[in-house]
Amino acid sequence: MAAAQNTVLVCFSFAAYAKTLLDHLKSLNIPILPGLTDSEFSSIESTFHFTFPPDLRSILEEGLPIGPHFPNWRSSSLQQLQILLKPSFLKPL
């Protein structure tokens, strides 16, 4: 009979990570708006032909950071978001 193995199961919560990150941003006086809705995610993803990774989606569901270093997925123009999403190797130096 084989010896029993001690297995440690770990459950990582993107929601807890998102809350911690947004709390940190708030402590730096970065404004946080209410998070994106499912319909907003669907609209953005279909417009730009990509899917948000689960960790980023969790953050943006919890709250939407606003400022010069964050894309405003809700209020930026289509052209502004296209510029931000262009791969960096295509941007002039």
Q: What is the pLDDT of residues 4-31, one digit of tens each?
A: 677 776 666 788 889 999 999 999 999 9
C-alpha 2 chain-centroid distance: 45
Residue 19 belongs to some domain of the structure = yes
Task: Quote the pTM value.
Answer: 0.75
Q: Which two tokens stand for residue 26?
A: 């708030």
User: How many domains would you assign to the chain?
Assistant: 1
Give the integer Cα–Cα distance in Å for 18 and 29: 17
Model pLDDT for residues 36-92, shown as the tens digit of each residue: 999 999 999 999 888 999 999 999 999 999 998 898 999 888 888 888 887 765 555
The pLDDT assigned to 3 comes to 59
The pLDDT assigned to 32 comes to 97
Residue 6 belongs to some domain of the structure = no
Q: SS3 for 27-38, per residue?
A: HCCCCEEECCCH
Residue 26 belongs to some domain of the structure = yes
Give the integer Cα–Cα distance in Å for 60 and 65: 8
The pLDDT assigned to 4 comes to 61
Residue 30 belongs to some domain of the structure = yes
The residues that bridge with 32 in the sheet, in sequence order, are 65
The pLDDT assigned to 24 comes to 97
